Structure 1
Amino acid sequence: MLNDREKSGDGYFPVRWQGYQPEKEGDFLLKAGLKLSHLRLILAIADSGQVSAAAEALNMSQPAASRMLNEVEKLLKAPLCQRAARGVEMTHFGEAMAKRARTILLEIREASREITELKTGYGGSVNMGSVTGPAISLAVPAIHRVRGMYPAIQISCHVEASNVLARELLSARYDFVIGRLPDEFNPRDFEARPLGFETSCLIVRAGHPLFKLRSPGLEDLRLYEWVFQPQGALLRRSIERMFIDANVPLPENVVSTPSVLMTMAMVVNSDAIAPIAREVAEFIAGTAGRAGEIAVLETGLEFALEPYSLITARGRGLPPSARLLHDLILEENGRSQPRAV
């Protein structure tokens, strides 16, 4: 039980607690008056690491957030956070409650979505993410089919790197994603349906000097400016590994950007080289206007990438609208696979 509290610039923090006496009944939190507002505050503090930032996210004053934190700690009879070098860090009690709060609030949100969809008949929403290649080859045609069947469905599709997709999926910001499982995440937190391999290529502007060479090699390529994805991106690592394995120095003139649009602009307006998903390169090269001035540079070099999958969070069900798009993506993938003769 809280005995004293010490005030700091970010709120109030427990200093000393007396022995905790376990409750006899498992539902003591509900009987004690635990509210959804308490859960929202706990989760906001866990996500932001600051009481002040949590208060701002919940549109309340910091003193009000500190009072609510004090209130919920008294209900739980346990400290939820403690002062850290920058803001606060969650105690074991706080981490446990934040994990449960995320699940409870997610289930309430999904219940609201499902009720809306049942009332309107597939009038709900879908939030998905994808790496670049399958966003073009699988997500786009599946979204067109959904829109043709149920125009009222609201669909958001975000194109990101796999590590961002996995993090946002676990945070319940996406219903499902198309990507790869990064090494830094526990694979037990996901369910994955393998889809295929993302093919990549190098793009340059039409009329690039390298087209004068019959078969440009790494020694030729490294002399030009490169536009890469940010450090650690899978495709960038694959290209860099290719240079290292061939004992060829890495390109020195490098610009990094996660933006496909920025990449295209750099390539069209210079002699830069950029690795990109082949589906995207072929789509843009076939369009009119300046974007269509890019060309695929065939070198014969192998860009080995890991296969991508359709990924959901383990133990989290999909609402009907998300399930529909999820299954149509699987259908589109089946159509695109070569048939055995």
Structure 2
Amino acid sequence: MRLSQIQDFIAVAEGGSIRSAARTRDVSASALTKSIRQLENELHVPLLTRTTRGVVLSHYGEAFLRRARLIATEARRATEEMTQMLGARTGTVRIGVTGGPAHLLLPAALNRFRRQHPEVQVYIDSGRSAVHLQDLRAGLIDVAVSPIPDEGIDHDFICEPLYNNDSVVVAHQDHPLRHARTLRELVGSEWILTTCRMHGPGAAIMDAFRAQDLPLPRVAVRCDTFNLIQALLQDRRLLCMVARQLMQDRVGASTGLAVLPIEDPLPSHTVCLIYRADSPMPPVVASFAAQLRRETHYLINMPDSPLKRPGAPPPPLDAARMESSDMTV
């Protein structure tokens, strides 16, 4: 089995046809067909099913694709790592990050990293934490910055705690329940959920209602993009629970949003730097991770910090302070 055969197979799987994959790989269609046939003979299984519209993966092909992508990624990472160890600062950094860390840590960390490594390309995936873990395992991203689920994660990952991700309830400033102080007052309201799950990060409101032995919230919308959530909250019927840090400079007349002065305990999750235990970071990835740690340290230690150290209790909610237009990160 040769690496070129694996790369040919990935190109076919992603392109959906031999002809498209041949253009991607810059080879003839006949040469690529021969390469795939040799790979199938090596594995003793059919990887592709030919149709009138192109090719689709067989059951074996779908299973092999996950391995193939990991092999191709590790080969690329090995080449980049050797080049970087020789002194070059080129290559790629692929990071998965959820909404809170994306707004708090990435801008400054990325700015410093780009000044140090202007030739390195940075790819940012702002999807959900569950997807990031899958992508880490498949080698599609190098590191993730995300809260970990309540049930924890597998031992094949290393998790470095960065800060506590405290929660607040947000609504339009004219929402009829804008001044509610207990979760019980919010029973029957409609909510935006920021995950497809029903527990843990993104579904913290579900956990909060369960802790108070209240009827579960009515989920009207599921959305994991914070800018879109801000727009959706212009609907005066909707509520959403988000990271406290996201709201530091996003409340008041300019946004139309308000933080409800809820006095009941609300969930808190630890945001971690997550990476694979069995795959050392290449030098430029390690450099990017160092910038994320540096920015976290700075924010935690600044006056009126929006962050708290992992394990620290959440600060008391000061609605007036939260609504101050002077609060920026």
Query: Normalising TM by the smaller chain, what interval?
Result: 0.7 to 0.9
The reply on whether 1:251 has 2:217 as its aligned counterpart is: yes
Matches of 2:150 and 2:58 in 1, distance apart? 28
Are residues 1:232 and 2:197 paired? yes
Indicate the residue corresponding to 1:149 in structure 2.
116
C-alpha separation between the residues in 2 aligned to 1:274 and 1:38?
48
Choose the corresponding residue for 1:279, options 238, 245, 248: 245
Q: 1:283 to 1:172 in 2, by over 3 A?
A: farther
1:110 to 77, 82, 87: 77
Which structure would you say has the larger RCO, counting Cα contacts within 8 Å and 6 or more residues apart?
Answer: 2
Aligned counterparts, 1:77-156, within 5 A: 78-79=44-45, 81=47, 87-90=57-60, 99=67, 101-114=68-81, 121-156=88-123
The aligned amino acid for 1:216 is R
| Percent identity (aligned) | 23
Instruction: Determine the C-alpha separation between the residues in 1 that align with 2:116 and 2:261.
Output: 40
Contact 1:39 1:98 in 2 (8 A): no
Matched ranges for 1:1-341 at <5 A: 34-43=1-10, 53=16, 55=18, 58-59=21-22, 67-74=34-41, 76=42, 78-79=44-45, 81=47, 87-90=57-60, 99=67, 101-114=68-81, 121-182=88-149, 187-211=154-178, 213=179, 215-232=180-197, 234-252=200-218, 254-285=220-251, 289=254, 292-337=255-300
Any conservation in 2 of the 1:181–1:187 contact (CA below 8 Å)?
no
How many residues align? The count is 292
Tell me the CA shift for residue 246 of structure 1. Answer: 2.7
What is the CA-CA distance between 1:161 and the residue it aligns to? 1.7
Equivalent residue letter for 2:173: A
- Partner amino acid, structure 1, of 2:191: W
From the superposition, tell whether residues 237 and 243 of structure 1 become closer, same or farther in structure 2 (CA, over 3 Å): same
TM-score (ref. length: structure 1): 0.70
Instruction: Specify every segment of 5 or more residues in structure 2 that has no aligned partner in the other structure, as ranges.
Output: 50-55, 302-308, 313-329
Which has the larger Rg? 1
Instruction: Output the aligned Cα RMSD.
Output: 3.7
One-letter amino acid of the structure 1 residue matched with residue 16 of structure 2: A
Amino acid aligned to 2:278? G
1-side partners of 2:106 and 2:120: how far apart?
Answer: 15
Give the Cα–Cα distance (whole angstroms) in 2 for the partners of residues 332 and 284 of structure 1. 21
What is the SS of the residue equivalent to 2:203?
helix
Q: Check the 8 A contact 1:43/1:98 in 2, yes or no.
A: no
Give per-residue Cα distances to partners, 1:224-248, cap 9 Å, x unaligned: 3322123206334331132234332
| Secondary structure class of the residue paired with 1:198 | strand
Letter in 2 for 1:250: L
Structure 1: give runs of 5+ residues left out of the alignment.
1-33
Q: Are the counterparts in 2 of residues 197 and 307 from structure 1 also a CA contact under 8 Å?
A: yes
How far apart are the structure 2 equivalents of 1:219 and 1:97? Answer: 49
CA–CA separation in structure 1 for the residues paired with 2:281 and 2:265: 37
Q: Distance in 2 between matches of 1:147 and 1:70?
A: 43
Is the Cα contact below 8 Å between 2:204 and 2:267 reproduced in 1? yes
